[in-house]
Structure 1
Amino acid sequence: MHYLNISFSHKNSTLEIREKLSYKDDDAIKACLIKLNSSEAINESILISTCNRMEVFCSCSDIASATRHIFEMLSLRSGISIDELEGRADIFDDSSAIHHIFSVASSLDSMIVGETQIPGQLKDAFRLSYDSGYCGQKLSRAMHHAFKCAAKVRNATDISSKPVSIASVAVAKLKSILDNIEGKKALVIGVGEMSEITVKHLISSGADVHVMNRTKEKALDLANICGVKVLDMQELPKVINEFEILFTATAASEPIITDEIIKPCDFDRYWFDMALPRDINYHKGDRINLYVIDDLKNIVDENLNLREDSARRAHGIIGRSTVEFFEWLNTLNIEPIIKEIYQKAFEAAKAESDRVIKNGYIPKEYEAQVHKMSEQVMKRFLHQMTSKMRSVSEEAKSDMVTSALQFLINKESNDMPDKYKCEYALNIIEEK
């Protein structure tokens, strides 16, 4: 079994490429996972699709075949040639794949180092795949440890001490352009996490904030939380030209703001499109300053410089966690455990056989038969138990069972590292 990760991100792909590769809703992601797992080489997969990355993380029996299948599938869907996809993608396998997914979970591979959204997005991607049956034990192991690694990074560094996100950076960019946004009319389209963060930052700066969403009830929920005004989505063509400030982050598959609804205005406008695919597509309109995700690079670079020391310490944690993960995987082989159980049982049987012969309960001349009988008794006793252990070895819960057995058979010597003692309980779906 191998781990494989094929990654398209802000590091290697343009916004246009990421748009074509993005998946906007759960149904599209599930359809992709079905196609991924249709390959004989792939047995489990997770699809991560955010504004800054699209990644396939899978376990496979053949890395070359799995890689070829993934590129063919992505090329067919996106219309991008396989040669270009191969030229752009970062391909990680086995230890490098685990190191990469640990880095993603710890926000070290994000455009905004230490940003707070990617861990939640990664958990959502895993939850969707796991609940739908597209991944199981092998990727669950990796994801569980990825989130443990991320927690270590947060606790050991100050990389997330001042939480940031694309939304907060976008508002910071706006404030660097306009000395004062107090009282200025701002429209936020969408009600997801990114929109909520935007609304809160704008309110704290004194802007007059309005929100709209395709589902008005959700816009009203956000308005009740933040105390802002709500507009009907149908009013967008009418009100779009009334606002100096616009932030949009919807899940629309097509642009919602186009040339048809844009009218000339006698004031400068500052529009931030934080969606992928993009919400805004226009070719005319003076005095419109449009910023998309990749335009925030200067602030991103400043963020990275400020967090350089923390990032260096975090990379050390990720490296050690990667090594520990593979050490832990090596302890999960069920056969050595079964062998040790039989060995301990036979030692106990021989000790008891020797005792009854020494005490004269059974004549000495029957010693060989007594030893053979006691071993057969132990084999008969252990057969059903060890057969069950082998059958459960491919199930998600087997890691918990295996760790418990490791602890029990080593209990007297107490020589097992603490990190291996019953430490794996697959409750990843409930982790927050």
Structure 2
Amino acid sequence: MYCVISFSHKNLDISTREKIALPQDKIQDFYHSLFATFPNIQECILLGTCNRFELLMFAPSYNAHAIIDFIASDREIPAPQLRAGAQVFFEKEAIEHIFSVTSSLDSLVIGETQITGQLKSAYKLAFDLGFCKKQLTRVMHFAFKCAALVRSQTQISKNPVSISSVAIVHFLSLSPIKDKVAVVGTGEIGILCVKYLLSHGFDVLLLSRTLQNAQAIQDELQNEHLSIASFGQLPEVINSVRYLFCATGAPHTIITHDMIHPCEFGRIWFDLALPRDIDHIEREDISLFVIDDLQEVALENKSKREEELQKAHHIISEQVVLFEQWLKSLDVEPLIKAFRDKAKQCCLDEIERSLKKGFITKDEEDRVVRILHNAFNKFLHHPTSYIKTIKESPESDFIIENVKKLFDLEGEEFFQNPYKCERHNKND
């Protein structure tokens, strides 16, 4: 049974999402603890982004409340608080939710393509660690296929938007003067902020904990309005520039109260990280915006794309139906019957042709039928036995699809190279 337990920007504020977020080096320990506590869980993928924390699972049965309480205990969050912010999906609803998330219909910024890559990375990690096997792999293959269809058949991802672009749109709506902007962090969000700001004519100072990363970006962009600085200059920078964008992967705040000094000018800061990079501050000379403050801009973006959203949801509904049909087609018994029936029919057709041509007489028909029947039974014995033995193995889907193709049976080949081809693509 498929199940998703979801905590997202829809139901949890940023302070709770910060607490539930897992550092990369803690994910494997979380998996081990989860599987040790709930041995009936057979497979799991943990998806953690700045806007969501989700467990995609496969198990015979679930105690969703117990799993939520386990997460609450692990992340030291009051269980009632976490329960109130949880969404739980089972079976068809779970599949539909996974397809929607992968296709960026459940994102804060509808149509952003970053989520597909994030899910591929989460899938790759779970697969490589052995926590994701055949059942969730099936869903992931279809989910990535579904996301590709949504991108190609709708305008959802045309003129792509992201947290970075929404933040820049909001920043520009504040009518900033053309002054220097500091960007802290050389991850995907930070790099996009740099590009957007440069395209709008701002001078940008990029700070990175690893100066070589900032240097590589400067070399790539070759823009005279971009300069770089080391992380050690952060205390000086935050008190000398009007505008600041922070988006690092630090597990704790990097700008604390004691680092902030009074300035003669007002400052506008954007904290696009989770956990947050900047301490909660209340100062008249600083306007601080975090991810959740961008909801209004994101909702405006969603309303403009409403027609395309309907098309996208229709595609997802179709793909959910196709996925269910495809799962049923993987039953090996009907497949075995199909290729054995085809072999039998070929024998009968040849006997009928031989009778018409006079190669055999009517009196010989029964004996020839028995001979051919024994021959194709003997020929198909090994394929039949083999398919029965591999039906629970991870590679069975791939083999079954190719048996269909080999014997020219109905059904298209779905996996080109299972557990690899769609597992991870850095271009997404």
User: Is residue 2:415 matched to residue 1:424?
Assistant: yes
Counterpart AA for 1:24: P
CA shift, 1:340, in A, is 2.5
CA shift, 1:365, in A, is 10
Aligned to 1:142: 139
After superposition, give the CA deviation of every residue in 1:246-296 in whole Å (9 maximum; x if it has no partner). 111111111111111110111000110001111111445431100000001
**1:374 and 1:83, CA in 2 relative to 1: closer, same or farther beyond 3 A?**
farther
Counterpart AA for 2:150: V
Counterpart AA for 2:381: H
CA shift, 1:366, in A, is 12
Moved more, 422-431 or 193-202: 422-431
Aligned to 1:49: 48
Q: What are the equivalent positions in structure 2 for 1:119-134 lying under 5 Å apart?
A: 119-134=116-131
Aligned to 2:241: 243
**1:155 and 1:282, CA in 2 relative to 1: closer, same or farther beyond 3 A?**
closer
1:215 to 210, 224, 228: 210
Distance in 2 separating the partners of 1:282 and 1:349:
79
**1:352 and 1:304, CA in 2 relative to 1: closer, same or farther beyond 3 A?**
closer
Number of aligned pairs? 418
Counterpart AA for 2:74: R
Q: Give TM-score scaled by structure 2 length.
A: 0.89
CA shift, 1:363, in A, is 12
Aligned to 2:309: 311
Distance in 1 separating the partners of 2:165 and 2:348:
70
Counterpart AA for 1:197: L
Distance in 1 separating the partners of 2:156 and 2:355:
68
Aligned to 1:385: 383
CA shift, 1:235, in A, is 1.9
CA shift, 1:5, in A, is 0.7
Is contact 1:262–1:285 with CA below 8 Å preserved after alignment?
no
Aligned to 1:324: 322
Q: What are the equivalent positions in structure 2 for 1:247-286 lying under 5 Å apart?
A: 247-283=245-281, 285-286=283-284
**1:155 and 1:360, CA in 2 relative to 1: closer, same or farther beyond 3 A?**
closer
Distance in 2 separating the partners of 1:365 and 1:305:
76
Distance in 1 separating the partners of 2:351 and 2:33:
59
Is contact 2:45–2:131 with CA below 8 Å preserved after alignment?
yes
Is contact 2:208–2:230 with CA below 8 Å preserved after alignment?
yes
Is contact 1:42–1:59 with CA below 8 Å preserved after alignment?
yes
**1:367 and 1:253, CA in 2 relative to 1: closer, same or farther beyond 3 A?**
same
Q: Which runs of 5+ in 1 are unaligned?
A: none
Distance in 2 separating the partners of 1:207 and 1:19:
31
Is contact 2:124–2:424 with CA below 8 Å preserved after alignment?
no
Distance in 2 separating the partners of 1:283 and 1:394:
55
Is contact 1:202–1:209 with CA below 8 Å preserved after alignment?
yes
SS in 1 for 2:239: helix
Aligned to 2:113: 116
Distance in 1 separating the partners of 2:107 and 2:234:
32
Is contact 1:104–1:110 with CA below 8 Å preserved after alignment?
yes
Aligned to 1:289: 287
Q: What are the equivalent positions in structure 2 for 1:404-415 lying under 5 Å apart?
A: 404-411=402-409
Distance in 1 separating the partners of 2:33 and 2:381:
40
Counterpart AA for 1:160: S
SS in 2 for 1:211: strand
CA shift, 1:323, in A, is 0.8
Counterpart AA for 1:331: S
User: Is residue 2:98 matched to residue 1:101?
Assistant: yes
| Percent identity for Structure 1 against Structure 2 | 38
Counterpart AA for 1:232: S
User: Is residue 2:14 matched to residue 1:15?
Assistant: yes
Is contact 1:264–1:286 with CA below 8 Å preserved after alignment?
no
Q: Which runs of 5+ in 2 are unaligned?
A: none
Aligned to 1:205: 200
**1:371 and 1:191, CA in 2 relative to 1: closer, same or farther beyond 3 A?**
same
CA shift, 1:136, in A, is 2.0
Distance in 2 separating the partners of 1:384 and 1:81:
57
**1:219 and 1:154, CA in 2 relative to 1: closer, same or farther beyond 3 A?**
same
User: Is residue 2:143 matched to residue 1:152?
Assistant: no
After superposition, give the CA deviation of every residue in 1:378-431 in whole Å (9 maximum; x if it has no partner). 4443332222222332334322321222244445xxxx3xxx311222211254
**1:364 and 1:208, CA in 2 relative to 1: closer, same or farther beyond 3 A?**
same
SS in 1 for 2:42: strand
**1:181 and 1:197, CA in 2 relative to 1: closer, same or farther beyond 3 A?**
farther
Counterpart AA for 1:120: G
SS in 2 for 1:150: helix
Distance in 2 separating the partners of 1:430 and 1:281:
35
SS in 2 for 1:242: coil
User: Is residue 2:187 matched to residue 1:192?
Assistant: yes
